[in-house]
Chains A and B, each alone.
Chain A
Amino acid sequence: MKEIIEFKSAKLGYGKKIIFNALSLKIYEGDFIGIIGPNGSGKTTFLRSILGLLNPQNGKIIREKNVRFGYCTQRQFIDTIFPFTSFEIVMMARAKMIGPLRRGKKLDKEKVFNALKTTGILNLAHECFYGLSGGQKQRVLLARALVLEPEFLVLDEPTADLDIKTEREIIGLIKALHTEKKITVALVTHELNEVINSAQKFIFLNKKAPHKIFTRDELNEQLLSEIFESEIKLTRTDERLTVL
């Protein structure tokens, strides 16, 4: 499999505040990676470094050339004062492709509608973003990431503050995009139960200990209990893992 990104002893942080001292890992084409860890463990820092928004202070991050990223930010960070419609928000992502002075052409509009259709909210294209439910807003942001036709989808807590049904729908949608469109996925989430049934690889981040990388097959109760510093029970029913 082709490597998309390689972290080579990357020292990551903001000025004197160091989050990772020497992060080394590889992300391959077609990976579905779940990034898990407590608050402040560096999950968003890790995502920012994948996207090239944060350069290492030491070491290297080697990216495959011309990889198209799609970034789905936390919807809580999105301002809802202005009445942007779902269509307008998704179209924003094509600004660079359209270029200065130009307006979106028919092709750009088609791509926006396709992205909205993929995330199941085509009927909400001309609705104001601020009037949408949490799940619908998340789908708009997912559509905005998809409108760039990404090879690598980076998602920062897309299921935060959603009810269980919506949470499962969003994770199901991401899983479908991964399998059907062969998109590489890096997903930050606190929802352990959902992510362990979707991702193939897991990066566990913790301030107190070095990061740990495991595959789904390697997950067991002892490992999870060690990582989360509390007793964790793992049950398996119909190929679905459940954390207790």
Chain B
Amino acid sequence: MQTALLSGLIAGMLCAYLGVFVVLKKIVFVGIALSEVAGLGVAAGLFLGLNSYATTLILTLFAILLFWLPFPEKTVSRECLIGFVYALCAAFAVILIARNPEAVAHGINLVSGNLLYAGWRDIGLMGVIALIIAAIHLIFFKEFIFVSFDRETALTTGIKANFMDFLLYLSIGFAISISMKVCGIIFVFASLVIPAMTGLLITKTIWKIFLSAVCIACFSVTIGLFVSYRSDFPSGPTIVGLYALIFVFFSAIRLIKGISN
């Protein structure tokens, strides 16, 4: 339970923080596609008998380059490419898992994850990557904000917007990669989107949006894990259910306030 809570907190808080950038840059579909790519990475690693974190990071890096590089939208739009990558990776991940009894034996569930299977080795790796991402964001936070908000103007002020974009994509991709094996696609993708959306609903200050997104993730993971443990529910979907409940709760309050005003 300790390892489940720790891994859930690291993944949830990291994804919730980065999710604010995902929402700000309007790259939600990139988020879900990267989640599927990372899912395929886990499946491929287990199928080939390789380190699944390594295969996940390599595949995610390729996907980041694909999404980051300029895409000539002549006949096919960028959204279509993202959709294609999503569908392809989802299909192959299912095939590889179905053909690999070892994955089933290890309790690997790419969709809903299984936090209770997280080991100290997983937590160590997640912690190290999370610290590296935190350091990068501490250094370049205001540059990331500017590039995400108004890339063109950021370029004119001398900021290396392409590099900043790449670093941002890289941190999102790596956060997804390290979270995928134990947390599953539903948890990772939901952590990237719902806490940031809720943060936007409840606060009117940018730093408070980041803080509230992280706090919502923290709260949902802790309570969600407790509920899933007591009621024998799958952990990932239970946490996502809590994310959604919190979002609906604050939406309702906002709606009622709007009507009463």
Identify the A interface with B (CB < 8 A).
Answer: 15, 51-53, 69, 71, 73, 77-79, 81-84, 88-89, 92-93, 95-96, 98, 100-101, 103, 128, 144, 148, 154
Contacts and interface: CB of A to CB of B under 8 A. Distances in A.
A71 B140 contact: no
A148 B200 CA distance: 30
Contacts of A71: 152-153, 156-157
For B26, B139, B143, B150, the residue with the greatest tally of chain A CB atoms inside 10 Å of its CB is: B150
Nearest to B158: A96
B145 interface: yes
Contacts of A103: 142
B206 interface: yes
A217 to B, nearest CB: 32
B157 A148 contact: yes
A77 B153 CA distance: 11
Contacts of A51: 155-156
Contacts, number: 71
A96 B24 CA distance: 20
B140 A96 contact: no
A81 B20 CA distance: 11
Contacts of B200: 81-83
B73 to A, nearest CB: 12
A104 to B, nearest CB: 8
A81 B150 contact: no
Nearest to A70: B156
A93 to B, nearest CB: 5
Contacts of B138: 101
Contacts of B23: 81
B24 A82 contact: yes
B153 A82 contact: no
Contacts of B156: 51-53, 69, 71, 154
Given A83-B205, A84-B206, A144-B153, 8 more contacts: A71-B152, A78-B150, A79-B149, A81-B200, A82-B200, A92-B154, A93-B157, A96-B159
Given A81-B24, A82-B206, A73 B139 contact: no
B204 A83 contact: yes
B138 to A, nearest CB: 7
B208 to A, nearest CB: 9
Interface string B216-245: 000000000000000000000000000000
A82 B152 contact: no
Contacts of B142: 92, 95, 98, 103
A116 B234 CA distance: 53
Closest 8 CB pairs of A and B: A71-B156, A92-B146, A83-B204, A96-B158, A95-B142, A100-B139, A101-B139, A96-B157
Contacts of A81: 23-24, 200
A82 B159 contact: no
